[in-house]
Amino acid sequence: MRVCLLTAAVVAVLIAAPIALAVLEVTGTMWCLPTAW
């Protein structure tokens, strides 16, 4: 049971990390564009 939960947690992190990074990258670009102009 613990192994299943651990595996689920690892999979969730692996799936969530790229999405979170992509969101941060997009929001960061949104913030940087007005200052760049």
- Does any domain span residue 14? yes
Whether pTM exceeds 0.75: no
Given this model, what pLDDT does residue 11 score? 96
- Does any domain span residue 37? no
Q: Which residues of 19-33 are buried (b: 16+ CB within 10 A; e: fewer)?
A: eeeeeeeeeeeeeee
Q: Residue 6 sits in which domain range? A: 1-25
pLDDT digits (tens, 9 = 90+) for 1-37: 688 899 999 999 999 999 999 999 988 888 776 665 5
The number of C-alpha atoms within 13 Å of 17 and in the hemisphere containing its C-beta is 6
Structural domains in the chain (count)? 1
- Does any domain span residue 30? no
